[in-house]
Chains A and B, each alone.
Chain A
């Protein structure tokens, strides 16, 4: 993330890895969240980084989504992704909260994970930044 932020000339918003980590730890679902203020420029910067990262990851994202689309014929990739994602959530998020409990539930979380991957795949194009921004502004 830090390398991509440098590539996008966002050093003035994210001068170090710690500054990005501090913003990431704003997530209230984490085990020990911090509550820092995010200004609009940092918000835009995070959207740009997300969009740029999804460009690099598009082949992988597409392969996982394709596995879910053809789950009967090739379920392996989707199953690996889901179990690894749930492992990461269990490691870092507060598993006592109901939202996180729903996320780590194999049956309930499938639709949510698929939605995340669709969002990232649609954010990977040239229009990805404006599309992601439009969605976040209209939630």
Chain B
């Protein structure tokens, strides 16, 4: 039985999918329902290939990363097979973990341009009718931020200046009150003495 092979290209990226039709599902000879292999080639990067489970986790991670980037949410994407993080230069660091023992994880540094090419290739695959993959389980399930949800660091950064100002005002007020009370009591003592002195003068 001959394998079918399809490739999807976008600028710097090429995705090749090979597999067989599943005749029990009434597939045509050109369809692919059983994916036997895939290969993702990015210019100036090592080729990535693996099993169908690898492909599913890679697509899932990239789609989630795209959605989070568009929503301006910085979250680490970690799974058994792939991690995606942003570095300080704004590049995506993709760590691919092999299921084979003694194989070190492969790290790739991908810019925004290559990232959008990869997403474009996956979108082409999603809309290609000859390859039957259930994409529903691969699409990101991102919960909408509730009204009450907030970033703790942002909140601290926003609230700390007015709190510090309030604290300093109250501190200065207490110090001011203390000095005022001391001065007031001194004045009272002085007036008593002067009253006495007046009385003394009157007696004389």
Contacts and interface: CB of A to CB of B under 8 A. Distances in A.
Partners in one complex: yes
B111 interface: yes
Interface string B54-98: 000000000000110111100000000000000000110000000
Interface residues of A, number: 25
Contacts, number: 63
B116 interface: yes
B22 interface: no
Interface in B121-144: 123-124, 126-127, 142, 144
A85 B115 CA distance: 23
Given A65-B113, A117-B112, A126 B70 contact: no
Grouping DSSP codes into helix (H, G, I), strand (E, B) and loop, the A interface class, with mixed when no group exceeds half, is helix
B116 A122 contact: yes
Given A135-B67, A135-B70, A69 B113 contact: yes
Contacts of B91: 69
Given A66-B111, A115-B72, A139-B71, A121 B127 contact: no
B170 to A, nearest CB: 31
A125 B111 contact: no
A127 interface: yes
Given A62-B113, A65-B112, A114-B112, A135 B71 contact: yes
B116 A131 contact: no
Interface in A47-103: 59, 62, 65-66, 68-70
A118 interface: yes
Given A117-B112, A135-B71, A126 B126 contact: yes
Contacts of B126: 126-127
A122 B11 contact: no
B70 A131 contact: yes
Contacts of B11: 59, 62
B114 to A, nearest CB: 8
B4 interface: no
* Top 6 closest pairs, chain A to chain B, by CB: A69-B111, A121-B116, A125-B123, A66-B113, A127-B123, A126-B127
Interface of B: 11, 66-67, 69-72, 90-91, 111-117, 119-120, 123-124, 126-127, 142, 144-145
Interface of A: 59, 62, 65-66, 68-70, 111, 114-115, 117-119, 121-122, 124-128, 131, 134-135, 138-139
